[in-house]
Amino acid sequence: TSPAALGNTRVSFIDPAVGSDYSSSTSLANIYDTLVFPNAAGEVDPWLAESWEVTEDGLTYTFKLREGVKFHDGSELLASDVVYSFNRLQEVGEGYAYLITGVESISAPDDYTVEFKLEQPSGLFLPSLVRLYVVNEDLVRANTKEEGPYGEEGDYGKDWLLTNDAGSGPYQVVEFPLEEYLLMEKFE
């Protein structure tokens, strides 16, 4: 399901590959975590990434993830989840996909390392990552319909993520009847 399929109804989208309006953005920032987080100075601070390095030519960013971060279902957030989230965002092509461009490749050399290779250096790349919300790959895959517009990825979990979350953020979804309200509870 996409914003267009819902017509003129006013819906918050809690799928990080779809939502981008004010209401959706507020929800996403509370349900999901990102590699970096914006600060008051207009820069970014480490968040899921405890540190990162950039090669001298500005083409490769290597992020070291914090260990022990848990998704709402209790499973551990790993580098493969970051790779899946990026690929899903780009393939779905909605929401904030337009912000994170110029990535030649992304990989997870190990469970706590994510490497982005850029086509060319960009001062906008690091700040754009505040909109790369990391989803639980296993949970989304378990709730993905086989039939859908994304080939082998079926519907990429879009139908399920209309009313459910697969995040690790400070709040988790309790219930979300579309066009009514979003009830969340604090996630310890």
pLDDT(119) > 60: yes
Q: What's this model's pTM, rounded to 2 decimal places? A: 0.93
Chain centre distance of CA 161: 12
Nearest alpha carbon to residue 71 among 25, 143, 135: 135
Residue 3: predicted pLDDT: 45
pLDDT(78) > 60: yes
Q: Are 66 and 113 in contact (CB under 8 A)?
A: no
Residue 15 burial (CB count, 10 A): 29
Residue 10: predicted pLDDT: 55
Residue 188: predicted pLDDT: 86
Across residues 12-40, what is the average pLDDT?
A: 95
Q: How far apart are CA 169 and CA 186, in angstroms?
A: 9
pLDDT(7) > 70: no
Residue 12 burial (CB count, 10 A): 19
In whole numbers, what is the pLDDT of the chain averaged over residues?
94
Across residues 5-21, what is the average pLDDT?
A: 77
